[in-house]
Amino acid sequence: MKKTEENEKKENKQTMIIMIIVIAVILAAAIAISYAFFTATIHTVGNTSVIVKTADIRIIYHQDNVLDIDNFFPGDSAQITFTVENQSNMELFYAIEWQDVATDTHFFETGDLVFELRPVGDSNGITIDRTATPIADAIIQDGISIAAGATHSYVLVVTYVYADDRNQIANIGATFLGRINITSSEQIRHEPTP
Q: What residues have CB less than 8 Å from 50, skipping those under 6 apart?
A: 42, 43, 44, 60, 61, 64, 65
- Asked whether the predicted pLDDT for residue 60 surpasses 50, the reply is yes
Instruction: Give the pLDDT confidence score for residue 42 in this predicted structure.
Output: 42
> Three-state DSSP class for 48?
coil
The residues spanned by each domain of the chain are 1-38, 43-184
Report CA-CA distances (Å) from 39 to 53, 54, 140. 8, 6, 19
User: Strand, coil or helix: what is 137?
Assistant: coil
pLDDT band with cut points at 50, 70 and 90 for residue 25: confident
* DSSP conformation class of 103: E
Buried b (16+ CB within 10 A) or exposed e, 102-119: ebebebeeeebbbbbbbe
User: In this predicted structure, what is the pLDDT of residue 193?
Assistant: 38
pLDDT for 78: 92
pLDDT greater at residue 188 or residue 104: 104
**Per-residue pLDDT tens for 80-113?**
999 999 988 888 899 999 999 988 766 766 778 8
Residue 192 reports pLDDT greater than 80: no
Quote the pTM value: 0.67
Domain 43-184 class, CATH top level: mainly beta
d(CA 120, CA 80) in angstroms, rounded, equals: 12
pLDDT at residue 158, as a whole number: 92
